[in-house]
Amino acid sequence: MALKRANCAIELMRCLKRLRDPQSELLLLRSCMGVAKLLFGLRTCQPSLVGGAVSVFDEGLRGALEDIVVCGGAFFGDLQWRLASLPTRFGGLGICTAEDASSYAFVASRAQSWGLQDHILRECGGDVLDSDYRSALDLLHSSLPDLDIGGFYIKDTAPPKSQKILANALYGEIVKRFEEKFVLSPRQRAMFECLRAPHAQDFLSVAPIEGLGQHMSAVEYRAILRYRLMIPLFPVDEPCPVCRKACLDSFGEHAIHCKELPGFKYRHDWVRDVLCDVLKRAGISAKKEAPVNFLTDPLEGRSTLRPTDILVFGWEGGKHACVDLTGVSPLVGLKDKGFVVGQAVLKAEASKVAKHEKACLENQHVFVPFAFDTFGGLAPDAVRLLNRVQKVVNSNSSSLKVSNFVFSRIGFSIQKGVAAQLVARLPAIAL
């Protein structure tokens, strides 16, 4: 029966490509089609009984994901598959495989529902801790030797949030042993860290709404997915068609670092516009490109009108805030050793503060740097700003459901800017 279910799910996943929109396809695959279709079976059957269905299902799932990312093209290897099938908070695309889920779903489900089982089976007597459960638990212990699962063997001590605990332990172990399985270059290692940084994967959860700038074309979205899954994008050694000063590398690193103004400025301005829109929709008064007369370079020493990216009225203690956006690529000048994730945005934030904060304070304004990196990582002041905006939104909205959509929108706008840089340099045949 599990096999039949797996085959039905694969049939459904095959229909996905008819949408011709990788952004919606990925969203549907993650939330409605993937392992969700099999979860009931995985939770209620011993892992050893569903093995056949699991491998059939995962093969279909991998095929569907390959179609979304490379559209039948090459370079979707085991590394890409492993990376994509991690949860988003571990740097993946959140496409959970049946194999991973089956390793803990049965145990977690049993452990979480003891009360219910006791109630249903109260007339039957007998041992609820049967051999099925024990053997599944032993199997789990062998794959997660570091996790103390002693509590699971006794009914009264099984933790109430078993599924969360076990999933976290499983994926933590996979990440820890990642480099035992795959040989990573320094660039790939650094990228993997960037992808796991807080907020890096926020963009994956937006609903595709054109009017809010929350949609990417198929070419754009695929370029982003391929870049983040470390799949080659460009033929090597072609000169960059935009700046003509450097050569493109196959993974698109130059495309993203390239400081040629149109693309670089587009990215900055796009994020600024979306941030301004987010503020306005939250009911916060803000004006973009607002001229102020004190944001001059101290070295120039004279006072001229210069626009601040966004002026937020009465933001802190009645003072207006000058928000200054800056985007950085964390992998610029990457060395073999000493890469620290999040350092690039911290440095950018500090240098902006050093440059503008004093002038703002002297003129009765507060200065808010907004530093982001090309993976979606945010500096602390940017996180603080968005957290406060999210709170304002939540307090204004009547629905109790709290989500982080402010972060998702900003994350998506950053990726859309990056996508534009990549797409502008793609060879014509790839379009």
Contacts to Zn ion by CB under 5 A: 240, 243, 258
Our CB check for Zn ion shows the closer of 6 and 240 to be: 240
C-beta of residue 263 within 8 angstroms of C-beta of residue 420? yes
What's the min distance (Å) between Cβ of 253 and Zn ion? Answer: 11
What is the C-alpha radius of gyration for the chain, rounded to an integer number of angstroms? Answer: 25
Our CB check for Zn ion shows the closer of 263 and 411 to be: 263
Beta bridge partners of 328: 373
Return d(Cα 249, Cα 252) in angstroms, integer: 6
What's the min distance (Å) between Cβ of 252 and Zn ion? Answer: 11
Burial string for 344-366 (b: 16+ CB within 10 Å, else e) reads bbeebbeebbebbbebbeeeebb
Our CB check for Zn ion shows the closer of 249 and 373 to be: 249
Q: Would you say the C-alpha torsion 172, 175, 180, 181 has a positive or negative sign?
A: positive
What's the min distance (Å) between Cβ of 262 and Zn ion? Answer: 11
DSSP string, 252-279: SHHHHH---HHHHHHHHHHHHHHHHHHH
What's the min distance (Å) between Cβ of 267 and Zn ion? Answer: 14
What's the min distance (Å) between Cβ of 246 and Zn ion? Answer: 5
With both helix axes pointing from N to C terminus, report the angle between 2-15 and 51-70 in degrees, rounded to the nearest 10.
Answer: 10
Our CB check for Zn ion shows the closer of 219 and 243 to be: 243
SS3 call for 21: coil
Nearest to 306 by CA among 294, 321, 324: 294
- Please state, in angstroms and as integers, the Cα–Cα distance from residue 407 to each residue in 145, 203, 260, following that order: 36, 8, 28
Our CB check for Zn ion shows the closer of 248 and 275 to be: 248
What's the min distance (Å) between Cβ of 343 and Zn ion? Answer: 24
What's the min distance (Å) between Cβ of 218 and Zn ion? Answer: 24
Our CB check for Zn ion shows the closer of 230 and 258 to be: 258
Residue 116 burial by Cβ neighbours in a 10 Å radius (0-12, 13-18, 19+): exposed
Our CB check for Zn ion shows the closer of 243 and 290 to be: 243
